[in-house]
Structure 1
Amino acid sequence: MTQATPQPAEALFLAQHFDSEAIIKRFNAAANWQERYREIMLLGKTLPPLDESLRTDMAKVEGCESNAWLYHTSIDNKHYYVADSDARIVKGLVALLLAVTHGQDSATIAALDINAYFDQLGLTGQLSPSRTNGLYALALAIKAAAK
């Protein structure tokens, strides 16, 4: 008998709230990369840590240099995510992605232009190539889950 993959409780998906407009304002107000980096780290602290039982290979996002786990559920045609990473910067970047996808419908998520979003936040060109690749892997996983 195979064991079922653990899933976060629905309440965990619904407990998270993101104010994407406030996040964009905070990033636009940041004068330099160091301030934006600090904002990323602070944002990462808002994501609750995943229980160790949920840090499974089935939930791991491939393509990330650091470990990152992503769960998805759909409720009333809206998509909700729970995610975590063992790297603080990645956790903050995940939170930035969730800020514009969490609680959205499939069409909104499919239409999201990741490049334009990170340009708007002033992050384009600031991340290492490996971190950028991991970020795109996370974005693709979020979009794929919403299909």
Structure 2
Amino acid sequence: MASAAFEEIAETFEFLDDWEDRYRHVIELGKAMPPLDDAFRVPATKVEGCASQVWFLPRIEGQGADARFDFRGDSDAMIVRGLIAILHALYSGLSVTQVLSVDAADELGRLGLHEHLSSQRSNGLRAMVERIQKLAAEAAA
């Protein structure tokens, strides 16, 4: 259940044979994201479990299970900003119920990320997914 934006990323990854090209693409995705204002870089928005500094600012439209999920995010590391952009493509615009049903490991596995990220980056990516699921679960309640 991937969004059109995520499918576009997946198609681009299929086209790029070399992991270094994919890595550059992830960084470009991160560079294209608008930065998060310093006022939102606070402990309440910080994602714990990441080696880099990561902040998520959720934006939920509506209430209950059908509320639409969106977030802004930022990091002090360019590759992590790119991973945030990929997560944004995966989850943005879904209902909070749909967010909870996304198999992130499977979807991200299509990109081959698990094979090429360090264990620290993989743990950080997992922490970001867990934070997204927690935010969606709180909004759905």
TM-score, length of structure 1 as denominator length: 0.84
Contact 2:6 2:89 in 1 (8 A): yes
Aligned residue-pair number: 130
Q: Describe the superposition over 1:75-129 as per-residue Cα deviations: whole angstroms up to 9, x where unpaired.
A: 1310110100010000000111110101111222111112211221122211000
1:140, distance to aligned residue in structure 2 (A):
0.5
Residue 100 (1) aligns with residue 90 (2): yes
Query: Identical aligned pairs, as a percentage?
Result: 36
Residue 71 of structure 2 corresponds to which residue in structure 1?
A: 81
Rounded to whole Å, the distance in 2 between the matches of 1:72 and 1:53 is 14
Residue 14 of structure 1 corresponds to which residue in structure 2?
A: none
Q: CA RMSD in A?
A: 1.2
Structure 2: runs of 5 or more not aligned: none
Residue 32 of structure 1 corresponds to which residue in structure 2?
A: 18
SS at match of 2:116: coil
Whichever structure has more helix as a proportion of its residues is 2
Rounded to whole Å, the distance in 1 between the matches of 2:119 and 2:25 is 20
TM-score, length of structure 2 as denominator length: 0.88
Instruction: Report runs of 4+ in structure 1 exceeding 3 Å deviation.
Output: none
Q: 1:122-141 to 2 correspondence within 5 Å?
A: 122-141=112-131
Residue 103 of structure 2 corresponds to which residue in structure 1?
A: 113
Structure 1: runs of 5 or more not aligned: 1-17
Q: Describe the superposition over 1:40-95 as per-residue Cα deviations: whole angstroms up to 9, x where unpaired.
A: 00110121111111111111100000000001121131011010001000000011
Rounded to whole Å, the distance in 2 between the matches of 1:82 and 1:94 is 9
Q: 1:17-56 to 2 correspondence within 5 Å?
A: 19-56=5-42
